[in-house]
Amino acid sequence: MSLEVGEALMEKEMLVRTLQDEEEQARLRASSALVVPSIKANQQLARTLQDKEEQARPSALVLPSTKANQNLVSAGTLGETLDATGKWGKNLDNDDHVEEMKQEVEKVRSAKLVRKLERKLAFVSS
């Protein structure tokens, strides 16, 4: 992958993260502005269920090991998974995603070039 493509991918990824953070902040502001008892009750129920799940998980997931040291291994909860997916987005290791991003970068470059040439043409013709 060329340096320009990598930089463009990073730039696009940073823009997506910024937009996602802004959306999340807007959602938080909107939810804090609304005082709806049923929503708060649902959130409290979800937190309670997640806490119970987290309390039950460590004792149930002890994996034996051949080493003298045994470690607890736990999987993330659904809430943690959704938070991480929302924060970090798609996995860039996917070859199809990389190809789509390359095509998107090329489209953006072409569009920028066309706009630049149109501006130059408009300047020359005026």
**E strands in the chain:** none
Side chain identity at residue 43, one-letter code? Q
pLDDT classification of 25: cutoffs 50, 70, 90: confident
pLDDT classification of 103: cutoffs 50, 70, 90: very high
- Residue 75 is given by DSSP the state P
- Give the C-alpha distances (Å, rounded to integers) separating 64 from 55, 57, 98, 99: 20, 16, 38, 41
For 32-54, the pLDDT digits (tens) are: 665 555 666 777 878 887 777 77
* Under 8 Å between Cβ of 73 and 61: yes
Confidence (pLDDT) at 116: 94
| Single pTM value for the model | 0.28
Task: Determine the straight-line distance between the first and last CA of the chain, rounded to whole angstroms.
Answer: 41
Q: In the predicted model, is pLDDT for residue 26 greater than 80?
A: yes
